[in-house]
Structure 1
Amino acid sequence: MLSWAVTFLIIAIIAGVLGFGGIAGTSAGIAQILFFIFLVLFVISLFRGALRR
């Protein structure tokens, strides 16, 4: 999940440098959503791991 967020972030940076504003904004938004999903899943897995012990 984190690799997808990084991939979309790189696409957004490259598109921004080349002047494609719409594609850069969309890619950055997707990267942000994927990153937050990753964070939520990570926190859930931390709590589940702590509760098992």
Structure 2
Amino acid sequence: MLLDAAVQTLEQPVRLKCLIKNKNATAFYKSQGWKFEMTGTDVTGRYYLLKNQ
């Protein structure tokens, strides 16, 4: 999987932003074991900051 390959090449822990309104993406990251650390807002809208385990 592309996500697994990217995570393996980056310094750990890996963090990413995911827009809250992107329900499919948030469900995917949750199913992959990513932890929701916090919420925030930027020019693109409200987002979750996620961290891999």
TM-score (norm 1): 0.28
Which structure features the higher share of strand residues? 2
Which structure features the higher share of helix residues? 1
